[in-house]
């Protein structure tokens, strides 16, 4: 229970001390505070525009108004760039697939050639060309 009272007293004294410090610095540095407010207003003027300027900016082009030539050129450039990227991507995919199919066909041809060669060696009877290919039918 005593530690709760001690904590409460500490928090209360800290709050009183902070309020005194804030009031003291404001009274001591009054001129600096005014100068800081002026600097803040200058920054706000640089960042924010007047309300009339903002409404004119927003009214300048509505949803249905035609685009300026610069806007149209930029949009067309972006579309052309996206089309070029898409074309390059699909061309690369097509080339990879063609290479894959070519390798598969080469492997299949090699396997069938080896199988045919093994068949010829198995059925070779010592004559050249082999007997099976030179049969004389009576």
**Residue 44 lies inside a defined structural domain of this protein:** no
pLDDT band at 22 (very low <50, low <70, confident <90, very high): confident
Mean pLDDT of the chain: 79
**Residue 54 lies inside a defined structural domain of this protein:** no
Q: What is the pLDDT of residues 31-40, one digit of tens each?
A: 556 666 777 7
Q: Is the backbone peptide bond immediately before 4 cis, with ω within 30 degrees of 0?
A: no
d(CA 28, CA 32) in angstroms, rounded, equals 9
**Residue 87 lies inside a defined structural domain of this protein:** yes
| Residue 136: pLDDT over 90 | no
CB 50 within 8 Å of CB 58: no
**Residue 135 lies inside a defined structural domain of this protein:** no
CA 64 to chain centroid: 31
Q: What is the pLDDT of residue 115?
A: 94
Question: What average pLDDT score do residues 103-107 get?
Answer: 97
For 92-114, the DSSP string reads: HHHHHHHHHHHHHHHHHHHHHHH
Q: What is the pLDDT of residue 71?
A: 87
d(CA 18, CA 24) in angstroms, rounded, equals 10
d(CA 107, CA 79) in angstroms, rounded, equals 42
Q: What is the pLDDT of residues 106-127, one digit of tens each?
A: 999 999 999 999 988 887 766 6
Give the domain range for residue 94. 69-106
**Residue 96 lies inside a defined structural domain of this protein:** yes
How many Cβ atoms from other residues are within 10 Å of residue 120's Cβ?
13
Number of domains composing the chain: 1
């Amino acid at each position: 229970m005593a530690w709760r009272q001690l904590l409460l007293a500490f928090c209360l004294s800290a709050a009183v001390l902070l309020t005194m410090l804030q009031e003291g610095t404001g009274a001591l540095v009054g001129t600096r505070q005014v100068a800081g407010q002026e600097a803040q207003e200058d920054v706000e003027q640089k960042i924010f525009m007047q309300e009339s300027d903002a409404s004119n900016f927003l009214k300048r082009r509505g949803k249905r108004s035609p685009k300026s030539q610069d806007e149209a050129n930029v949009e067309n450039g972006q579309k052309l760039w996206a089309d070029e990227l898409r074309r390059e991507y699909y061309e690369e995919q097509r080339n990879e697939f063609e290479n894959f199919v070519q390798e598969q066909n080469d492997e299949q041809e090699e396997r069938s050639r080896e199988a045919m060669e093994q068949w010829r060696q198995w059925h070779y009877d010592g004559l050249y060309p082999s007997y099976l290919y030179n049969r004389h039918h009576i």
